[in-house]
Amino acid sequence: MDSFGERLRGRIDERGPLCVGIDPSADVLSAWSRSDSVEGLEFVARATLDAVSSVVAAVKVQVGFFERFASSGLQVLERVLRDAAAADVLVIADAKRGDVVTTNEGYARAWLGEGSPLAADAVTVSPYLGLDSLEPFFRLAVATGRGVFVLASTSNPEGRSFQLARTGDDDTVEASVLRRVSDLNRRAGPGLGPFGAVVGATRERPHFALADLSGPYLVPGVGVQGASAADVGRLFSGCPRGSVLASVSRAVANAGPEPRALRDAAQRWRDQLNDAL
């Protein structure tokens, strides 16, 4: 079984380095003249998936916008995940989960477990409780051929003071995350491993040689958040081909809801990213 990193690389080679974020926020529901309800949520999520699936390497579902509607919202997400699997589209669940080891067993099972209605191809996790606390995600990802993206350097400005704080080894927190993810991939075997990192395109280069991750990068911050395709190219220059996946959400959603307009917007980003990476 190929690792998630190798599977994702195959998709990027085939379709380009674009990930479209499915972010059915209250704002997007309103901009698309949909009711602020589970029906509106489901319309926006499925319409986006349908429109962009042929031009992306993966989609990223923003779990917070589904959870906003409690268990009914997660039922919508379960249906979207089924649709995506049927359409053979890779899905990253942007859940940013992270707790102590015992609790992470529960979260890992939900997002990466065989047969779980919420299982995606990869999940994002948050390292505030330490890299080692995330071990249940890492273990289950290897067992099921799925992936984990650990937050390192996020695209929003509010996180800088903690992510740039200096650990006892005089490393920054974000560089320490990247170094640990790299170690995990090297132990997992050759090629791109199952363990990725989130590094925002709006950020400066971390104190870590980005080309050394041996795993995929998920790169938010592109489009409305301020970074261009060229910014992504500059930040990740020298990284292996197929290891960088740039995520664009609002800049695509703003073209909706007409399917052709959504696909065209996604395609423009894909072409720009192809040129830059």
Judged by the rule CB under 8 A, the positions of this chain that interact with its own copies are: 23, 25-27, 62, 64-75, 77-78, 94, 96-107, 109-110, 116-118, 126-133, 151, 154-169, 172-173, 176
Q: What is the DSSP letter of 35?
A: -
Report CA-CA distances (Å) from 183 to 8, 72, 147, 173, 244. 20, 39, 15, 15, 18
Closer to its own copies at the Cβ: 33 or 102?
102
Please report how close the Cβ of residue 59 comes to its own copies at its closest, in angstroms: 16
Residue (11 or 60) nearer to its own copies, CB: 60
Quote the least distance from Cβ 108 to its own copies, whole Å.
9
Closer residue to its own copies (CB): 25 or 48: 25
Which pair of tokens denotes residue 38? 């589970």
Distance CA 90, CA 7 (A): 9
Nearer to its own copies, 7 or 179 (CB): 179
A 10 A CB-CB count for 49 gives: 21
Active site residues: 96
Question: Which residue is listed with tokens 């015992």?
Answer: 102
What's the rounded Cα separation, in Å, for the pair 15 and 221? Answer: 21
How far apart (Å, rounded) are the C-alpha atoms in residues 92 and 106? 18
Which residue bears the tokens 């995940």? 81
| Shortest distance, position 63 Cβ to its own copies, whole Å | 8
CB of 116 to its own copies, least distance (A): 6
